[in-house]
Structure 1
C-alpha cells in the first residue's frame, strides 16, 4: 500500500508537536520560576494542541490505509485459495531486530494473520501454520541443510545438488512441503 504522503506528514507533525510541546513546557516552568500570579498551564498553549491533533489525524490515515490494504489482500487470498499455508512466525521476537522492526511493524504481520484466520473460518477455508524452523536453509529440491545465511544473501546455490535458489521462493516451497507433510493434502484451487 502507498501511504508515503501520510507517513511523511505524520513524521513532520510529530517533530513539530514535540518541539512545540517542549517550548510550551519551558514557558510554563519559566512562569512558575518567576512566580507569575496566573501562570499559563500547558493545556492553554494552542500551538502544540493543534500539532497534536494534526499528527494524530495523519497517523490515523496511515493506519486506515494499512488496514484497508490488509482487508483487501486477505479477502482476495481467502476467496481465491481453499488452503493457505503460512509460517508460524513470532513477530514480537522478529521486532527485536532494529534493522527490520519498522518494516515488520508497517507490514502488520500479526494483523494480517488474524484477518486470515477469521476470514478462513468465515469462508470455510483452511489455514495451516507451519513451523518456520529451517525453511530458508533447506534446499527444496534435495532437502540438504546448508546452514544459516545472513539476510543479505537473497540467492544461493545448493552445495549438494547444485540447484540455484531464490531465498524467498525456496522458503515458500519448503513451507508448502511442510504443510503437506503434516498430514494435510493441499489442493490449492483457483476459484
Structure 2
C-alpha cells in the first residue's frame, strides 16, 4: 500500500510541476467531490481519485511559480454552457454521466440546441473555463 501511495504522490508532483511550467493559464473547477461520491455511477473511481491533493499541490506550485490559479465555482455550468453562443442547457436538456436521454446524446458529446455547435463535452468545458480568465 505504501509503495503504491508513494508512486501516486510522485506522479502527482511531477504532473503538477509540468502543468505549472508549461502553461500560463490554468483553471480548475471547485468540484463537490463528496456529493459526487454519493452517486453510484462514479463513486468507486472518485474514492481512488486525488482531486483534493491535486488542488492543494497545484495551488502551492502556482503560488511558488507566480502563476494565477482561478477556481470556477462548483455551480458554474462549464459542461452545460455552449462555448460558441453561450446558451446554457437546463432541465431535460442537461447532459449527465449517462448522456441525455431525451435527445439520445452520449456522455462525451456536446450538442448545442440553439446554434447547432457539436464538439467533445470536455473540450467545450475547457473553452468555457478559459473564458473565465
Q: Alpha-carbon deviation of 1:72? A: 0.6
Partner of 2:37: 95
Partner of 2:112: 158
For 2:37 and 2:53, locate their aligned partners in 1 and report how far apart those are by CA, in whole Å. 14
Partner of 2:126: 172
Partner of 1:146: 89
Partner of 2:58: 116
TM-score by length of 2: 0.83
Which residues in structure 2 correspond to 1:22-37 (within 5 Å)?
Answer: none
Partner of 1:82: 24
Rg bigger for which structure?
1
Where structure 1 has 5 or more consecutive residues not aligned to the other structure, the ranges are 1-58, 181-191
What SS class does the counterpart of residue 127 from structure 1 fall into?
coil
Q: C-alpha deviations, 1:8-56, integer Å up to 9, x for none?
A: xxxxxxxxxxxxxxxxxxxxxxxxxxxxxxxxxxxxxxxxxxxxxxxxx
Where structure 2 has 5 or more consecutive residues not aligned to the other structure, the ranges are 99-106
Partner of 1:33: none
> Does 1:66 pair with 2:20?
no
Q: Alpha-carbon deviation of 1:140? A: 0.5
1:105 is aligned, of 36, 42, 47, to: 47
TM-score by length of 1: 0.59
Query: Over the residues paired in the alignment, what is the CA RMSD in angstroms?
Result: 1.4
Asked if the contact 2:110/2:124 (under 8 Å) is kept, the reply is no
Which residues in structure 2 correspond to 1:20-59 (within 5 Å)?
Answer: 59=1
Asked if the contact 2:41/2:97 (under 8 Å) is kept, the reply is no
Q: Alpha-carbon deviation of 1:100? A: 1.3
